[in-house]
């Protein structure tokens, strides 16, 4: 399978239906200071908790066997730095007005322009 298709397949497999959780509920799950927005501090802390939850053997790397079912795996594993880099890239993609905070409206806009 060509690389691009592989990556697309991984993205499709890992992405839940957009209707799973409302943007407001998603924000509430991550929002720490109660401003109804997600800033990078909140997103990074969420992402790293998620990373550690997946890193069952606690070696600081998501080994191939620790990747969630249905996602593409990296044979060499994925370290926390790469995971955070990806989270930051994703955060910036969702943050439409680039003010460093994600609002419910920006999540809606992101879902409609990138419905994968």
Using CB under 8 A, list all residues that contact other proteins: 3, 7, 10-11, 13-18, 20-21, 23, 26-27, 29-34, 38, 41, 43-50, 52-53, 55-58, 60, 62, 67-68, 71-74, 78, 80-91, 94, 102, 107, 110-111, 116
- Where does residue 103 rank: exposed (0-12), middle (13-18), buried (19+ CB within 10 A)? buried
Report phi then psi at 83, rounded to 5.
-65, -45
CB 36 within 8 A of CB 104: yes
């Amino acid at each position: 399978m060509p690389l691009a298709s592989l990556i697309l397949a991984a993205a499709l497999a890992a992405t839940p239906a957009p209707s799973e959780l409302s943007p407001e509920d998603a924000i509430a799950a991550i929002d720490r200071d109660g401003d109804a927005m997600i800033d990078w501090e909140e997103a990074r802390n969420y992402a790293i908790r998620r990373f550690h939850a997946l890193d069952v053997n606690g070696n600081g790397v998501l080994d191939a066997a620790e990747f969630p079912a249905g996602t593409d795996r990296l044979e060499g594993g994925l370290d926390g730095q790469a995971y955070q880099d990806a989270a930051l890239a994703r955060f910036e993609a969702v943050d439409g007005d680039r003010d460093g905070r994600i609002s419910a409206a920006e999540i809606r806009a992101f879902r409609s322009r990138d419905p994968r």
